[in-house]
Amino acid sequence: MQIRARMSMSADGYVTTPNGWPALTADPAFVSGSSHGIREFLADCEAALMGRTTFEPALTNSRWPWPDLDVFVLASHRPQGTPDHVTTDSDPARLLETIRAANRGGDVHLIGGPRTIATFHALGALDRLELVVLPMLFGGGMQLTPALSPEAGLTFESQRALPDGSVEIVYSCGGSRGDLPGRPASQV
């Protein structure tokens, strides 16, 4: 089992629009559940993990966003209207153990917010971070950093251009970052 975060961001580094919506929703090419490489990403996933802020809007959707996934929510309380099959817990370490105990061999899609991603990274549970960089500038919104600091130990794995003009960048999360050079690498 790997815990893999995948999130979109604008070219100027914002994971939400200035109005607080996920970056991907601002892209005219966005099609829920099918665009920006999400089908390939979800092919190996059996569960979705998220914080309450990400989860609560799903309770009013006309369609359940995770029909084929077990759903785990980090929340201080169980939101009203949460389906019985959704597991909630206020303790991230305990929720992680529940996820591991329920796992049947598939991966877990960690649906961020930056704070939730940083929380599970701090537990040593985040295996991969996948960013879909959109060809858009927002000029404001929420950023992935500083919640996930530059010292996170991300190691570049791959990149690919997606048909909609965005770029997918994949990092593994098991390393540690050394000091950045005091001058450009070409001058070292």
What's residue 176's pLDDT? 54
pLDDT classification of 81: cutoffs 50, 70, 90: very high
Average of per-residue pLDDT across 163-180 = 78
Reply yes or no on whether the pLDDT at 113 is more than 70.
yes
3-state SS record for the chain:
CCEEEEEEEECCCECECCCCCEHHHHCCCCCCCCCCCHHHHHCCEEEEEEEHHHHHHHHHCCCCCCCCCEEEEECCCCCCCCCCCCEEECCHHHHHHHHHHHCCCCEEEEECCHHHHHHHHHCCCCCEEEEEEECCCCCCCCECCCCCCHHHCCEEEEEEECCCCCEEEEEECCCCCCCCCCCCHHHC
pTM: 0.86
23-72 pLDDT per residue, tens: 998 999 888 888 888 889 989 999 999 999 889 988 988 888 888 999 99
CB 74 within 8 A of CB 83: no
Alpha carbons 164 and 135: distance in angstroms, whole number: 9
